[in-house]
A and B are shown apart, each in its own frame.
Chain A
Amino acid sequence: AQTVTQSQPEMSVQEAETVTLSCTYDTSENNYYLFWYKQPPSRQMILVIRQEAYKQQNATENRFSVNFQKAAKSFSLKISDSQLGDTAMYFCAFMNMGGSEKLVFGKGTKLTVNP
């Protein structure tokens, strides 16, 4: 079974600075997807970024980018120019390709952006 580990329960960053959230996972599969989801205080889950394991290029979405290291089974999220609206819980998630589309979530990292 796949597992996802987020080792940082809480992090904080100053507005406009850069922060990196860590995620490692364990799987015997070769083809899969990795996701970062944001859950603000409203509790609506919002997809931040998605990475296909077969792609070597790291995914980027505006201020959000990932460092995907397949061999190390590591998938960190970098947030540049942090904004107050980035304050939220961030969940790393794993999905098998061609499977049941089930997501396996990490325990989450609570990020606080300070003014």
Chain B
Amino acid sequence: GAVVSQHPSWVICKSGTSVKIECRSLDFQATTMFWYRQFPKQSLMLMATSNEGSKATYEQGVEKDKFLINHASLTLSTLTVTSAHPEDSSFYICSAAPGRNEQYFGPGTRLTVT
């Protein structure tokens, strides 16, 4: 149980285009989902917290207009990187919290912007 999926696992896009990453909790409902960014050989950096049906809360320094988060249902959250640039290339990880002071992580999405 407690499986979280992410799609796609790897995406390459051209500079200036937008890309959407999906995060789904497959066997539980997630009241809260989190989006992280991880640079090579570094720790996870929390980008934003999303609650179903409400606006996401972004961490300081994260551009909310560039990283659009939509938590459409209790099992789905999406992260859209708008007008992507090469510096947005990174590994993006989502996690889902069923409300028991636990987080379950997706397998991550590698974004490469050319």
Q: Is the CB of A45 within 8 A of B105?
A: yes
Chain A residues contacting B102 (CB-CB under 8 Å) are 47, 50, 101
How many residues of A are in contact with the other chain, CB < 8 A?
A: 21
Enumerate B13-69 residues with CB–CB distance to A below 8 Å.
32, 34, 38, 41-44, 46, 49
- Which residues of the partner chain A approach B93 to less than 8 Å between Cβ atoms? 43, 45
What are 23 A-B pairs with beta-carbon distances under 8 A?
A37-B105, A42-B107, A43-B91, A43-B107, A43-B108, A44-B107, A44-B108, A45-B44, A45-B95, A45-B105, A50-B102, A91-B43, A95-B101, A100-B49, A101-B101, A101-B102, A102-B46, A103-B34, A103-B46, A105-B43, A105-B44, A106-B43, A108-B42
Name the distance in Å between A51's Cβ and chain B's nearest Cβ.
Answer: 12
Per-position binary interface string of chain B over residues 68-96, scored 1 when its CB falls under 8 Å from any chain A CB and 0 otherwise: 00000000000000000000000101010
Q: Which 9 A-B pairs have the closest CB atoms?
A: A45-B105, A101-B97, A105-B43, A107-B43, A44-B107, A43-B108, A105-B44, A108-B43, A33-B101
User: What's the dominant secondary structure at chain A's contact region?
Assistant: loop
B103 within 8 A of partner (CB): yes
Is B32 within 8 A of A101, CB to CB? yes
